[in-house]
Amino acid sequence: MLSSNAGYAAEADALAVQYEETTFEAVHGRVLGLLPAAPARVLDVGAGTGRDAAALVRRGYAVVAVEPTAELRAHGRRIHAGVGIDWVDDSLPGLAAVPDAGPGFDAVLATAVWMHLDAGERVAAMERVAGLLRPAGLLFLTLRHGPVPAGRRMFDVGAEETVELASGHGLVPVHRSERADGHGRGGVSWSHVVLRRG
């Protein structure tokens, strides 16, 4: 069985270029207004090369970037050297290296990550992430739809079922939208879902 990050290590060099070709603002523009005011603590799960983590640090946030693919973490450390991202080798759903105790996070981002988890992992991941959020903390999710690239593991995960899953963990939706793919890939589209912890 493929792991949730299958295919990323082998393609890391090309993906690093692709991820950094776009900007945090282009990817998250429609939900930027929902970000908590800086300074605040943000967890970026499945951070890739740290494009978003770096932009958030520059905006005044303290950012923990979780990334299980060593090759992508290495690119991130190189590309964003000196920015001040706190890199962690870890993965959903457990996030064992992210401490339970402590202040929690004002926002958690999982950008283009959630659909790599199978149904059981998504249940466990939602519980874990909800538990890491402070009251009124926000979870920003993007879900990719469309053809699955060769060698990857991806599931067809809808916004509606994600909102439903989150509601069982005290998270309420504050934003939902759909958009076309920023790279113009045929058949690929995206859902944005933002949820707030009550």
Q: 163: Cβ–Cβ under 8 A, 6 or more apart, which residues?
A: 173, 176, 193, 195
Token pair belonging to 175: 């934003």
- What is the pairing mode between strands 133-145 and 189-197? antiparallel
98, 107, 113, 141: residue in contact with ligand SAM (rule CB under 6 A): 113
Stretch 4-33 residues interacting with ligand SAM (CB under 6 A): 4-5, 8, 19
91, 154, 162, 196: residue in contact with ligand SAM (rule CB under 6 A): 91
Q: How far apart are CA 80 and CA 47, in angstroms?
A: 12
* Total of residues contacting ligand SAM (CB under 6 A): 21
Work out how close the CB of 5 gets to ligand SAM at its nearest, in angstroms, rounded to a whole number: 4
Q: Helices marked H in 100-171 — which ranges?
A: 119-132, 159-167
Work out how close the CB of 104 gets to ligand SAM at its nearest, in angstroms, rounded to a whole number: 19
Of 4 and 162, nearer to ligand SAM (C-beta) is 4
Tally of helices (H runs) and strands (E runs) in the chain? 6, 7
The contact set with ligand SAM (CB under 6 A) reads 4-5, 8, 19, 45-48, 51, 66-69, 72, 91-92, 111-113, 116-117
